[in-house]
Amino acid sequence: MDPLRLDFDDVLERLYLKFAVTQRDCELAGNYLRCFLHAKISSPKMLIILPQIADWAWHELILDTRLYREICAGVFGGFLHHVIKDIHVGSHVRAEDMCEEDALTLRRNFKLSLAFMRQKYALTEISTEWTESGWDSPRYRFRNASYAELLWNDLGEVDKAIPPRFSWLPARIALRFGVTEMRARNAVAEYANAFGCGKLDKAYLLPPAVELVWQEHILWTRRYAEDCNNAFGYFADHLPRDVLGTTLERESGRFAREPNVALEGA
């Protein structure tokens, strides 16, 4: 399977409908993602840091877990994990939370990654809006931001207990979605209950905010696989589900594809 020829139409459409991004940015994100997967064939241990928009495209691909697993098997013969630890220097996501040396190393590696991708694949320069990988602005920028904020209102501010295995998630949710730590904890508590009851792959529709917690858990691919194996003895698959109010606004053909940037594989 040649990753440079992968059809990411559905992934890019979800990216466009979900986030406040342009069609051109989506196309460039898709090309970066294809080239990233291609580069990982010959250089599996090379640290390649994607621009934030391309990382969001990778997220959308990962969230279709069965498809992503099939692509990984076809391209690599195994699974390519979303290695957040390497990209974000341990558990930190924001540059301000890192020591100065780690922050400088991160930025230097990102510039090297961009230079490598442009040189090897002749990729177009990214716009200044995406010249970092999310460490300065880790919060998701949703297209329907006001609706996204409403999803958390029903969770309340009453602290709920969280199993130790999910103790890392609330801070991540609060940072990524811009909600209070208490509401993040309550959403994680509800997700932990659904996870513990085995409801994830039983056609059970989670409340929208809880669905977003599930999605964030999945993006930590190695941890999610381990948690599923420990809890169920199998991997709980996920299908992309719109919970951000974009489906109602969607029109046929709204995401009109622009001409692809030419891809060159060395």
Would 118 be classed as within a structural domain? yes
Based on C-alpha coordinates, what's the Rg of the chain? 18
d(CA 211, CA 116): 36
Q: What is the pLDDT of residue 132?
A: 67
Domain range for residue 131?
1-143+246-266
Residues 109 and 222 in one domain: no
Type of residue numbered 160: K
Would 91 be classed as within a structural domain? yes
Q: How many domains does the chain have?
A: 2
> Mind listing the pLDDT tens digit for each residue in 55-114?
999 999 999 999 999 999 999 999 999 965 443 434 445 545 556 667 788 888 888 999
Would 241 be classed as within a structural domain? no
Residues 116 and 206 in one domain: no
Would 93 be classed as within a structural domain? yes
Residues 168 and 98 in one domain: no
Residue with tokens 């195994």: 78
Span 177-182, average pLDDT:
91
Residues 149 and 77 in one domain: no
Buried b (16+ CB within 10 A) or exposed e, 117-154: beebbebeebeeebebbbbeebebebbbeebbeebbee
pTM of the model: 0.86
> Mind listing the pLDDT tens digit for each residue in 142-155?
998 888 888 888 77
Residues 173 and 105 in one domain: no
Residues 126 and 170 in one domain: no
